[in-house]
C-alpha cells in the first residue's frame, strides 16, 4: 500500500515537473524527471493491481495539473492560435502563409505570435477538427495563455472519453480493465498531450470510439462518422482503413465507406471550398521531402545514399519509404485472416510501427497511437520507446542546434534489442497488470 502511494506521488510530481519546468534545452532535467516519472508509472502499471477508479482519478489529477501551465517543450501553440485568429477574422487559414501576410496584421499580439512561430513559411497542415478547436480557443481574446487553457479543457474532455472507450473495448475483449493504465498513466502521453498540446490526443479519442462502434456495436454509420472525425483531427488513421476495406462483409463495407467518405468530405469542406487543397497537400509533401528528425531506417538509407551520390537524397528516399510503408500495410491487411477486435489491433499496431520505423521524422508525441494500441496487444516495446524517445530532447540542448546521431543510435539500439528479445522470449517481457 505504501509503495503504491509513494509511486503514485513520484509519478504525479515528476510528470507535472517534466511538463511544466524544463525548457527544450534542459536535457538533463528532462531525462532525470522522465526517469522518475517512468519508474512510478512502470511500478503502478505492471507490478500492482490498480482498479479502474484509481487509474481514472490519478490520470485526471495529473492532467488537471497542467491546466495552468503554458507549454514548455513545444512552441506549436503559436501556430495554433495564429490559425484560430485567422478563422476568427474571416480568413481561411489554409490559404495564407504567415510570412506573406504579417505585414498586413496590426498589433503587437500578431507579431508575438509570428516571431514565436516555428513554421512561418509553410501553409498550415492542421486538419479541420483541430482548426475548429483553434478557433474556439480565440474566444479568450488576444491572450495566448487563456487560449491554451481552452485547448487543454478540450483535451481533458477528450482524454476522459478515451479512458471510458478503452475500458469498454477491454471488457469487450474480456481483458482486465487495469490495462487502460498503460495509456492513461503514461507520462509521455500526459506531457505531450496536456502539456505540449499535441492533437494526437483528440484523434485517439475519436479513434477509440470509432473502433468500438464499428467492430463491437456493428454500427457502421456511427463508426464511420467517428473515424472521419479522427481523420479530420489527424490524417494518420487513414492507414487503418485497408483493414475495413478487406475484412468487412459486402453490405457493411459499402455502408461504412460511403458514409465515411460523405463525413470526410463534409469535415474537409473548409479546404475544398477554399480551393486550398493544393496548399495543404504541398505542406504534407514537404514532410516527406524535407523534414528529418529521430529516424531509424531512413537515417541508414540516407547514409548509404550520401555515399553513393554525395548529397542528401531525402526527396527520393522519403517518398520511397512512404510507398514501402503502404505496401507493407496493405500486405498485412491482406494476410489478416479474420475480422475481430484482436485482429484489428494487431493490424493497427503493426501498421503504425511500420510507418514510424520507415518515417523521416519521429517526434515524441508520434508514439501516442502505439502506446494506446499497446493496451490491446501483447507487445510492450512501444511503452519502453515512450521513455527512450525522451533522449531525442538532447538535440535541443546544443547551440546551434544539431542532431546527435550517437544518441539516436543508442535509442534505437535499445529499442530494437527489446523488440528482438520480446519476440524471442514473449513471456519474459509481455508484462500485464495483474487481473
pLDDT in tens, 314-354: 888 988 999 999 999 999 999 998 899 999 999 999 999 99
pTM: 0.94
The domain in which residue 6 lies consists of 2-429
In the structure, what pLDDT confidence band is assigned to residue 286 with cuts at 50, 70 and 90?
low
Contact between 137 and 145 under an 8 Å Cβ cutoff? The reply is: no
Average pLDDT over residues 248-268: 94
Predicted local confidence at residue 284, as pLDDT: 60
Predicted local confidence at residue 227, as pLDDT: 98
Predicted local confidence at residue 283, as pLDDT: 59
In eight-state DSSP terms, residue 199 is: T
Instruction: Check pLDDT > 60 for residue 277.
Output: no
pLDDT one-digit tens code per residue, 180-215: 999 999 999 999 999 999 999 999 999 999 999 999
> How many structural domains are present in the chain?
1
Instruction: Check pLDDT > 90 for residue 56.
Output: yes
Cell 502505439, residue located:
370
CA distance 135 to 87: 6
Residue 282 lies in a domain: yes
Residue 270 lies in a domain: yes
**Quick one: 100 exposed, middle or buried, by C-beta within 10 A (0-12, 13-18, 19+)?**
exposed
CA distance 380 to 182: 9
Report the DSSP beta bridge partners of residue 361: 293
Average pLDDT over residues 282-295: 70
Residue 216 lies in a domain: yes
User: What grid cell was written down for 300?
Assistant: 541508414
- Burial profile 51-69: b = 16 or more Cβ within 10 angstroms, e = fewer: ebebbbebbeebbebbeeb
Average pLDDT over residues 73-102: 93
Predicted local confidence at residue 434, as pLDDT: 46
Residue 435 lies in a domain: no
Contact between 294 and 357 under an 8 Å Cβ cutoff? The reply is: no
Residue 300 lies in a domain: yes
pLDDT one-digit tens code per residue, 392-422: 999 999 988 889 999 999 999 999 999 999 9
pLDDT one-digit tens code per residue, 156-168: 999 999 999 999 9
Instruction: Check pLDDT > 80 for residue 287.
Output: no
Contact between 385 and 408 under an 8 Å Cβ cutoff? The reply is: no
Cα 227 from chain centroid (whole Å): 15
Residue 388 lies in a domain: yes
Predicted local confidence at residue 124, as pLDDT: 87
Instruction: Check pLDDT > 70 for residue 29.
Output: yes
User: What grid cell was written down for 398?
Assistant: 546544443
CA-to-CA separations, 120 to 83, 124, 196, 375, in angstroms, rounded: 11, 9, 19, 38
Closest CA relative to residue 9, chosen from 44, 35, 34:
44
First to last CA, the chain: 17
Q: Is 361 helix (H, G, I), strand (E, B) or coil?
A: strand
Residue 434 lies in a domain: no
CA distance 278 to 327: 25
User: What grid cell was written down for 109?
Assistant: 499580439
Q: Is-cis flag, bond preceding 342, omega within 30?
A: no
In the structure, what pLDDT confidence band is assigned to residue 123 with cuts at 50, 70 and 90?
confident
Amino acid at each position: 500500500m505504501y509503495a503504491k502511494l509513494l509511486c503514485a506521488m513520484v509519478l504525479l510530481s515528476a510528470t507535472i515537473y517534466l511538463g511544466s519546468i524544463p525548457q527544450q534545452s534542459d536535457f538533463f532535467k528532462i531525462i532525470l524527471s522522465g526517469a522518475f516519472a517512468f519508474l512510478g508509472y512502470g511500478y503502478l502499471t505492471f507490478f500492482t493491481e490498480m482498479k479502474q477508479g484509481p487509474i481514472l482519478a490519478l490520470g485526471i489529477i495529473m492532467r488537471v495539473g497542467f491546466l495552468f501551465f503554458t507549454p514548455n517543450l513545444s512552441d506549436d501553440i503559436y501556430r495554433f492560435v495564429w490559425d484560430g485568429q485567422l478563422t476568427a477574422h474571416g480568413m481561411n487559414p489554409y490559404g495564407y502563409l504567415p510570412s506573406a501576410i504579417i505585414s498586413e496584421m496590426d498589433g503587437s499580439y500578431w507579431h508575438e505570435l509570428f516571431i514565436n512561430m516555428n513554421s512561418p513559411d509553410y501553409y498550415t497542415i492542421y486538419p479541420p477538427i483541430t482548426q475548429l478547436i483553434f478557433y474556439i480557443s480565440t474566444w479568450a481574446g488576444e491572450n495566448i495563455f487563456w487560449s491554451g487553457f481552452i485547448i487543454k479543457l478540450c483535451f481533458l474532455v477528450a482524454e476522459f472519453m478515451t479512458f471510458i472507450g478503452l475500458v469498454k473495448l477491454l471488457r469487450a475483449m474480456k481483458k482486465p480493465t487495469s490495462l487502460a493504465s498503460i495509456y492513461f498513466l503514461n507520462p509521455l502521453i500526459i506531457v505531450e498531450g496536456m502539456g505540449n498540446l499535441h492533437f494526437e490526443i483528440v484523434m485517439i479519442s475519436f479513434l477509440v470510439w470509432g473502433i468500438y462502434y464499428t467492430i463491437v456495436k456493428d454500427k457502421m454509420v456511427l463508426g464511420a462518422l467517428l473515424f472521419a472525425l479522427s481523420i479530420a483531427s489527424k490524417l494518420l488513421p487513414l492507414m487503418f482503413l485497408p483493414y475495413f476495406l478487406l475484412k468487412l462483409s459486402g453490405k457493411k463495407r459499402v455502408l461504412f465507406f460511403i458514409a465515411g467518405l460523405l463525413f470526410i468530405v463534409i469535415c474537409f469542406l473548409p479546404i475544398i471550398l477554399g480551393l486550398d487543397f493544393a496548399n495543404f497537400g504541398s505542406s504534407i509533401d514537404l514532410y516527406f521531402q524535407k523534414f528529418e528528425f529521430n529516424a531509424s531506417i531512413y537515417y541508414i538509407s540516407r547514409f548509404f545514399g550520401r555515399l553513393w551520390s554525395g548529397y542528401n537524397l531525402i526527396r527520393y528516399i522519403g517518398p520511397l519509404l512512404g510507398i514501402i510503408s503502404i505496401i507493407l500495410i496493405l500486405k498485412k491487411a491482406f494476410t489478416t485472416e479474420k475480422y475481430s477486435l484482436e485482429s484489428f489491433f494487431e493490424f493497427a499496431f503493426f501498421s503504425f510501427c511500420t510507418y514510424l520505423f520507415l518515417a523521416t521524422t519521429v517526434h515524441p508525441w508520434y508514439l501516442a497511437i502505439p502506446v494506446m494500441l499497446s493496451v490491446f496487444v501483447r507487445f510492450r516495446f512501444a511503452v519502453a520507446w515512450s521513455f527512450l524517445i525522451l533522449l531525442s530532447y538532447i538535440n535541443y540542448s546544443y547551440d546551434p542546434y544539431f542532431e546527435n546521431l550517437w544518441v539516436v543510435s543508442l535509442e534505437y539500439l535499445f529499442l530494437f534489442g527489446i523488440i528482438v528479445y520480446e519476440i524471442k522470449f514473449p513471456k519474459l517481457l509481455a508484462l500485464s497488470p495483474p487481473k
